[in-house]
Structure 1
Amino acid sequence: MKLIFVDIDGTLTRPGENIPPDSALEAIRGAQAKGNKVFLCTGRNLDMLRPLLKFGFDGVVGSGGGYVTVGDTVLYDCPMTDEQRDVALESLHEFGVFCTIEAKDGSWGDENMGEFLSQQGEGNSEIERWRKALSENLGIKPMHEYNGSPIYKVVVMCTDMSQLDKARSLLEKDFRFVMQEVKAHNCLNGELVNRKFDKGLGVRLIAEHFGLGIEDTYGFG
């Protein structure tokens, strides 16, 4: 048995979409028919994964490794603390950084993020994902409706790296600031990722669950 891990945006589907092409589904089902297991492995949270779970995946490495399952069994669950969340949002909003926060049961974004995204060009898969999610109402709720659920990461968008300086000074010992710069569009986007986990940890935990080594895993992304 082999364990196969598949990224979503730009790999299994186009950025922001939830329907894989028939060719991908046929390949996945063919692999499973031979006794292999196929997992979603993504930065998306559980709520954004729900439309894809109906296609029969064997589990997920979600939230960039912060939430890991095999079937209905949760192997790992590591959200931010409330204090970390509050410090992140306060220090980012203070300098005009647009934020989206992701919990298991939903995502919430700053109300004016849609206007910011509409001004950005094409060619960045993360921007495309959020633009599509907002325009098609794929579960992104306004920040003022946030229900206090534990969150796994903060997605950020801004125009200058200096806007992140205060947040870095307060949080960088616990979080990686994974940023992508699109110079042609004067835009920075990225996310705060907990140093306690990554997708690789999720892969290792699932391999251990089945008593397999890392050499029995394959990733596509």
Structure 2
Amino acid sequence: MTSPASPSRIVFIDVDGTILEHGTVIAPSTVSAIRAARARGHLVYLCTGRSDGDIHPDVRAIGFDGAITNGGGFATRGGELVLQHTMPREDVERLIRTFEEGGIQYFLQSHEGVFASPGILSLMSGFLRQRAARRAEDLQHLGVDDDDLLDAVLREASDRYRPLAEAPMDAIAKAVFVSERSDSVDHMQAELGERFHVIPGSMPMPGGSNGEISLRGINKGAAILEILDQLGLDAADAVGIGDSWNDVEMFQVCGTSVAMAGADPQLQALADHVTTGVLDDGVHNALVALDLI
């Protein structure tokens, strides 16, 4: 005899480092767990720093009720855009000037895509090589073979990012930067001032540092509150699962927060629960522990 289903809840779940490991690898248990939670009547939303156009097809194929993207800049429900917070053009132009004056490479993100400054992929070559090596280990762990991983990773990066000249300057919500400076996050915050919110990025670069920039007040937590208001749901019934510094506000607003085992220990300390790693059934174990599946 099966136990009765728990009351319906809503889950907001990060992508990189939570669903995806090293860019493309997903534990099979993550797919089945998310689908089981939805089949049980719970809503499941992606909640990611990626743009909607940059969500990996394998993630999208899992099936979700909606998505918060660009770290809170946009949100969709059932394929319909229901939330949009873009930067005024003058703020985007200020970001570009600050990046270029500091010799910092960057991406600009809109709802549809990601636009790369000319030198960023060469600067990220070490990161991309590292990602290919780690992806090979991950696939071996899951019993999957894949040849020519480095070529695949480099080709994927080239395909994902469009030239900066194509960026829609009136539709940008977020910027990501990569620098050879170790103090670039603090430097950018000091240069830009309180109008902008600068946080450490999630790319494990071999050297230097990286970060994410949005307008202050635009974050995953604020977007979650807007979505909950639209749905008439209580934040106490919301679950947030993530691993990065852009998940802090999500942890703050959701009634229950879960950090992945790979998250920074300081971030784990902010969460109500810590689950196992991405490829060690972390999402599945979290949903089981919370009686969502």
Task: Report the TM-score range of the alignment, normalised by the length of the smaller protein.
Answer: 0.7 to 0.9
1:36 is aligned to 42
1:195, distance to aligned residue in structure 2 (A):
0.9
Q: Does 1:21 align with 2:27?
A: yes
What secondary structure, in the 3-state scheme, does the structure 2 residue paired with 1:55 have?
coil
Residue 141 of structure 1: how far off its partner (Å) = 1.3
Q: Name the counterpart of 2:161.
A: 140
Give the Cα separation in 1 of the matches to 2:23 and 2:205: 22
> Which residue matches 1:79?
86
Alignment coverage as a number of residue pairs:
215
Distance 1:100 1:44, change over 3 A: same
1:181 Cα deviation from its structure 2 partner? 9.9
* Residue identity in the other structure for 2:237: D
The alpha-carbon deviation at position 6 of structure 1 amounts to 1.1
Cα 1:144–1:211 change in 2 (3 A) is closer
Determine if the alignment matches structure 1 residue 220 to structure 2 residue 226. no
Matching residue of 1:205: 226
1:70 to 70, 74, 77: 77
Separation in 1 of the partners of 2:154 and 2:215?
Answer: 24
Deviation per CA, 1:102-141: give whole Å up to 9, x if none.
11121111222122112459889xxx9xx94765434201
Residue 187 (str. 1) matches residue 193 (str. 2): no
One-letter amino acid of the structure 2 residue matched with residue 49 of structure 1 = I
Kindly report which structure 2 residues correspond to 1:55-204, keeping only aligned pairs within 5 A, or say none: 55-120=62-127, 132=153, 135-148=156-169, 150-160=171-181, 168=189, 171-179=192-200, 185-204=206-225
Instruction: Tell me which residue corresponds to 2:53.
Output: 47
Q: Taking CA–CA contacts closer than 8 Å with sequence separation of 6 or more, which of the two structures ends up with the larger relative contact order?
A: 1
Q: Matched residue of 1:108: which SS?
A: strand
Tell me what 2:275 maps to. none
Q: Secondary structure at the match of 2:194?
A: coil
Assess, with a 3 A threshold, how the Cα gap between structure 1 residues 92 and 161 changes in structure 2: closer, same or farther: farther
Give the Cα–Cα distance (whole angstroms) in 2 for the partners of residues 11 and 165 of structure 1.
26
What is the alpha-carbon distance in structure 1 between the residues aligned to residue 91 and residue 205 of structure 2?
A: 33
TM-score with structure 2 length normalisation? Answer: 0.64
Secondary structure of the residue aligned to 1:23 is: helix
Contact 2:201 2:210 in 1 (8 A): yes
CA distance in 1, matches of 2:186, 2:11: 38
**SS, match of residue 47 in structure 1:** helix
The superposition leaves residues 167-187 of structure 1 with CA deviations (integer Å, 9 ceiling, x where unpaired) of 545632221111359999431
Report the more deviating stretch, 133-142 or 58-67: 133-142
How far apart, in 2, do the equivalents of 1:186 and 1:119 lie? 9
Q: Within 1, Cα distance between the matches of 2:62 and 2:84?
A: 23
Measured in 2, the distance between the counterparts of 1:55 and 1:208 equals 25
Q: Match of 1:64, SS?
A: helix
Could you list the per-position Cα deviations for residues 55-93 of structure 1 after superposition, in whole angstroms to 9, with x for gaps in the alignment?
321001111011122223433200111110011101111
Give the TM-score, by structure 1 length: 0.83
Structure label with greater radius of gyration: 2
Q: Unaligned stretches of 5+ in structure 1?
A: none
Structure with greater proportional strand content: 1
